[in-house]
Amino acid sequence: MGKKLTSRSEDYSKWYNELVVMADLAENSGVRGMMVIKPYGYAIWEKIQAELDKKFKETGHENAYFPLFIPKSYFSKEASHVDGFAKECAVVTHYRLKNDENGKVVVDEDAKLEEELIVRPTSETIIWDTYRKWIESYRDLPLLINQWANVVRWEMRTRLFLRTAEFLWQEGHTAHATKKEAIIEAEQMMNVYADFAENFMAMPVIRGFKTESERFAGALETYSIEALMQDGKALQAGTSHFLGQNFAKAFDVQFTSKEGKKEHVWATSWGVSTRLMGGLIMTHSDDKGLVLPPNLAPHQVVIVPIYRNDDQFDEISEKVAEMTKELRAMGVSVKFDKRDTYKPGWKFAEWELKGVPVRIAIGPKDLENGTVEVARRDNLTKEVVESDSIAEYVSELLKEIQNSLFTKAIDYRTEHTTKVDSFDEFKEVLEGKGGFIEAHWDGSAETEEEIKKLTKATIRCIPIDAKEEEGTCILTGKPSTKRVLFAKAY
Amino acid sequence: MGKKLTSRSEDYSKWYNELVVMADLAENSGVRGMMVIKPYGYAIWEKIQAELDKKFKETGHENAYFPLFIPKSYFSKEASHVDGFAKECAVVTHYRLKNDENGKVVVDEDAKLEEELIVRPTSETIIWDTYRKWIESYRDLPLLINQWANVVRWEMRTRLFLRTAEFLWQEGHTAHATKKEAIIEAEQMMNVYADFAENFMAMPVIRGFKTESERFAGALETYSIEALMQDGKALQAGTSHFLGQNFAKAFDVQFTSKEGKKEHVWATSWGVSTRLMGGLIMTHSDDKGLVLPPNLAPHQVVIVPIYRNDDQFDEISEKVAEMTKELRAMGVSVKFDKRDTYKPGWKFAEWELKGVPVRIAIGPKDLENGTVEVARRDNLTKEVVESDSIAEYVSELLKEIQNSLFTKAIDYRTEHTTKVDSFDEFKEVLEGKGGFIEAHWDGSAETEEEIKKLTKATIRCIPIDAKEEEGTCILTGKPSTKRVLFAKAY
């Protein structure tokens, strides 16, 4: 708390890194690229998990758990899949340590694995190897399974939550009898993610298709949700893949149809990760620290007592107990910060830094007047409220804050979404205010690559609601039928 | 469902292995020693997690997440710790794959890690390396943290749930200002585990201290809960360790006391794992399959309709909807098994195999009479019950089943706990009915080891409520002041 947070305008990237640590969300560990998720950050992740898990179950999915290690040979069975992940695989080669002649702990060379094991970067291969045993007939389909797990991708340049060598995620893996069903599932899960992002994280997203070069390794179609951060850069917040029959063929997963015919199964996979924490932070937070939407705040309300002596403290505590009971009855989570080791001003600053949506301060004068002071974290306004009606007031206020954060983010995105029709304009916007750029593209991977090379901007997605519209590619002038969404991205 | 389950008397071990797979709990994967936890098994694990997590939070703990990989050098800092785990460590040595000249996927030798990384077998070292940064003053204590995670221990002989190369668990790691506080914490968590085992799993446990040779590597005291399985073998179901200042010293974690003095922090750690699933299965199940205590059953009630035509099915469904609503209102989880691909008899057998506590069958005659048939899984009895009072009836019945399972398990344990006063008697009981044996021991590691060598029985614990009693060691005849608990163990 001693240090002051760097402002966003001064250095956005530094602001982010400092905020994550200072708000007690996460920190770097002694292991290269791997983070420690601190209790306050993990409490937010638990809320994300709980809500998503509920949504997955409501849409008919069950959880299961598959091995952390994948034999190298499995991994190689789907060619484009291994190409996509080979460069970032942590490899287990030995299974024992020993003391050498000097008493130093070393790897025991006699305990070398016959076949190396890959620490899962994603689980399609091990799961489809299992599905072969689970799927025999159309009666076994659809198979709708999700796994909450840790995965490892050996990233060279890492950033807390956004890109770490290990991250936590969920990965859904479903098997279907028909292509159509699998596509509907992949779309459904994109929509589940979008709904969660918008209604829980208050983070507006664009739904769309990835271009071929940005697809998941092994997918025929990748759907994604794309959010816009306050620095004008995009964040891919979740993806859902239609995998066709690629993994079913690689792992020989066939089912007997109603008509008695053997057919390969159709697949999807879909995932979101602790990366969402990065999106949450960068969508709402400000120069004073984290700003949390009420739906994901570990404490929605913090109550800070202001007192000079024990008698005052006791009287306040009594009133607080009453208010807390009323607030909890309305489903509001409350923390009474009664630490006597810190002063109120220090506590105010701490809870601002940690993004608690509503702060209530109560002192002897308030007790006399039957009031409390209510401060909103999102717009930093304060209001004096009658303590008798506090539960209804706060309950309404939390809804208002949730909505207001979403509206603010939508407004930001609207202001930072630009239609351009020439490459000069494209570059000008990119170097200026940034954000999403809607532009025509000729549909070729070469053009996409060239634009990326020239500007660092990538096609974030082809929005699912992109209108048919005659146009010409901003780079090549070739004809195009719809605008796609460009941005620089995390 | 085609295969018949081996009976316990025929081959207990085979019965267990078959049951785990046939009841859809778990199965072996293609990775040596690593299991796949199937959806039905995982649903039980989720219930275990939810209840334990609630208990941890009620006792003031917060969740966090620490890295999967631990640098070898961290691991070596606490000498007895590394000795205890070195022989079962999976080691990551490389971080990239590549294609060789023949296009085969191989480990890229250019991507060798400077320092090998150990896949965590437990997290004391990485966590205490982190605590050094988190703990400065007495104000930062106690630090009460838990982590839900996967760990890897390279076991040579594995069995589903009981001993697997990867397992899921929780590990609590706490830091305290005083020795006394840390001991109280370690005892508290043993009691939390015991309470959970007895009241949720209906699995009676003996609380006690481990002998020095059975202690956790790095602990000054290990508390454990020990359960007795139906084959007379003991299962260590959870452990809680008082770690003294060992890890604080190894990782230089000091705090400034109220008096301004620098002191090393006192530590505990405690964990239970998916091994509990093995205990759950072996405590209650029978030759027809799994028997689940209602508190942990994914479905407490399954309803099977019996009908000849669509009209009958529709009428039954209407009644079932009504009953389901009433049952759910009383907090009972219900599954209506309306699959038309299977016959009622097949469904009965399947839900018996899967251990659903209560099965309700309803046919046209029941509709006429306003009744249903209610079958208990635990004692396989049936009763005709008025459908109007089904919710109250079932709600009471579930409580009765929960209690009855516990009582039955207690009775089994009482019958299989024997006091012996000579080594001949000791061997006789061990080779006969097995179970727990209360016997005098001279307190030396040599005697303990010798008894183990001669009989395969180990000291499970020194029960915390063991009475002071004059006696002589069954092996050496040396004096002893209390009886300890012996058994063959999983």
Contact A95 B117 (CB under 8 A): no
Angle between helices A445-455 and A423-431 (to 10 degrees): 40
Residue B439 Cα, gap to closest chain A Cα (Å): 37
As a whole number, mean pLDDT of residues B441-463 equals 98
pLDDT of residue B81: 85
Contact B130 A88 (CB under 8 A): no
As a whole number, mean pLDDT of residues B268-288 equals 98
Residue B124 Cα, gap to closest chain A Cα (Å): 14
Q: Is the peptide bond before A121 cis (omega within 30 degrees of 0)?
A: no
Whether the CB-CB separation of A209 and A460 falls below 8 Å is answered with no
DSSP state of B289: B
**Minimal Cα distance from B153: which residue of A?**
A95
Query: Nearest Cα to A131, choosing from A74, A76, A189?
Result: A74
Domain boundaries, chain B: 28-284, 299-397, 417-487
User: CB-based contact (8 Å) between A34 and chain B?
Assistant: yes
Q: Is B84 helix (H, G, I), strand (E, B) or coil?
A: helix
Q: Is the dihedral of CA B180, B182, B186, B189 positive or negative?
A: positive
Same fold yes or no, B28-284 and B299-397: no
User: CB-based contact (8 Å) between A139 and chain B?
Assistant: yes
How buried is B224 (Cβ within 10 angstroms: 0-12 exposed, 13-18 middle, 19+ buried)? buried
Is 3.30.110.30 the CATH number for A417-487? yes
Whether the CB-CB separation of B91 and B118 falls below 8 Å is answered with yes
Q: Mutation target for B interface from A1, A28, A29: give the one with most B CBs within 10 A.
A: A29
Q: Is the peptide bond before B142 cis (omega within 30 degrees of 0)?
A: yes
- Would strands A97-99 and A382-386 be described as parallel, antiparallel, or unpaired? unpaired
Q: Is B258 helix (H, G, I), strand (E, B) or coil?
A: coil
> Token pair of A217, please?
């390794």
ipTM over 0.90: yes
> Is it the case that residue B83 has pLDDT exceeding 90?
no
User: CB-based contact (8 Å) between A57 and chain B?
Assistant: no
Q: Mutation target for B interface from A46, A62, A95: give the one with most B CBs within 10 A.
A: A95
Query: Nearest Cα to A324, choosing from A363, A362, A377?
Result: A362
Query: Nearest Cα to B224, choosing from B435, B464, B465?
Result: B464
From the list A29, A91, A97, which residue is nearest B94 (CB)? A91
> Token pair of A352, please?
């601002």
Residues with Cβ within 8 Å of residue A364, at least 6 apart in sequence: A306, A307, A308, A312, A315, A316
Q: Which residues of A touch B343 (CB under 8 A)?
A: none
From the list A86, A117, A341, which residue is nearest B96 (CB)? A86
From the list B75, B91, B168, which residue is nearest A92 (CB)? B91
From the first residue on, what is the mean pLDDT of each consecutive set of 10 residues in chain A (490 residues)? 86 97 97 97 98 98 98 90 91 95 92 97 97 96 98 94 98 98 98 98 98 93 98 98 97 97 98 98 98 98 97 97 97 96 94 98 96 98 96 98 98 98 98 97 97 98 96 97 97
CA A285 to chain CA centroid, nearest Å: 15
> Token pair of B359, please?
């099965």
Q: Which residues of B touch A168 (CB under 8 A)?
A: 65
Instruction: Give the bridge partners for A221, in sequence order.
Output: A242
Angle between helices B390-415 and B275-284 (to 10 degrees): 90
Contact A97 B105 (CB under 8 A): no
User: CB-based contact (8 Å) between A412 and chain B?
Assistant: no
Q: Write the secondary structure of B414-451 as one string of H (helix), E (strand) and C (coil).
A: HHCEEECCCHHHHHHHHHCCCCEEEEECCCCHHHHHHH
Residue B63 Cα, gap to closest chain A Cα (Å): 6
In angstroms, rounded to a whole number, what is the distance separating the alpha carbons of residues B430 and B488?
8
Whole-model pTM: value is 0.97
- The rounded percent of chain B whose pLDDT value lies above 70 is 100
Contact B154 A70 (CB under 8 A): no
Is 1.10.230.10 the CATH number for A12-69+120-284? no
In angstroms, rounded to a whole number, what is the distance separating the alpha carbons of residues A299 and A334?
6
In angstroms, rounded to a whole number, what is the distance separating the alpha carbons of residues A456 and A134?
45
How buried is B58 (Cβ within 10 angstroms: 0-12 exposed, 13-18 middle, 19+ buried)? exposed
Q: Which residues of A touch B89 (CB under 8 A)?
A: 95-97
Is 3.30.930.10 the CATH number for B28-284? yes
Using CA atoms, how far residue A104 sits from A100, B86, B129, in Å, is 5, 12, 20
| Terminal alpha carbon distance of chain A | 28
> Token pair of A333, please?
């989570």
Residues with Cβ within 8 Å of residue B488, at least 6 apart in sequence: B232, B233, B234, B430, B434, B455, B456, B457, B458
Chain A with chain B: Cβ pairs closer than 8 A:
190
pLDDT of residue B158: 94
Q: How many CA atoms lie within 13 A of B165 on its CB side?
A: 25
Residues with Cβ within 8 Å of residue B426, at least 6 apart in sequence: B420, B437, B439, B451, B455, B457, B474, B486
> Token pair of A269, please?
């996979």
User: CB-based contact (8 Å) between B76 and chain A?
Assistant: yes
Choosing among 3.40.640.10, 3.90.470.20, 3.30.160.150, 3.40.50.800, the CATH entry for A299-397 is: 3.40.50.800
Work out the mean pLDDT of chain B and round it to a whole number.
96
In angstroms, rounded to a whole number, what is the distance separating the alpha carbons of residues B196 and B69?
30
**Minimal Cα distance from B146: which residue of A?**
A39
User: CB-based contact (8 Å) between B62 and chain A?
Assistant: yes
From the list B89, B95, B150, which residue is nearest A154 (CB)? B95
Compute the CA torsion angle B476, B480, B482, B483 (nearest 10 deg). Answer: 10
pLDDT tens-digit readout, B223-235: 999 999 999 999 9
Whether the CB-CB separation of B190 and B157 falls below 8 Å is answered with no
Query: Nearest Cα to B90, choosing from A67, A437, A155?
Result: A67
Residues with Cβ within 8 Å of residue B354, at least 6 apart in sequence: B23, B24, B40, B289, B290, B292
Q: Where are the alpha helices (DSSP H) in B92-217?
A: 124-134, 179-199
pLDDT of residue B429: 98
pLDDT of residue B2: 61
Query: Chain A, 147-176: which have a CB under 8 Å from a chain B CB?
Result: 149-150, 152, 154, 166, 168
User: CB-based contact (8 Å) between B117 and chain A?
Assistant: yes
From the list A29, A46, A82, which residue is nearest B63 (CB)? A46
> Is it the case that residue B241 has pLDDT exceeding 80?
yes
Which residue has 């997955």 as its token pair?
A: A56
Q: Which residues of B touch A95 (CB under 8 A)?
A: 88-91, 154
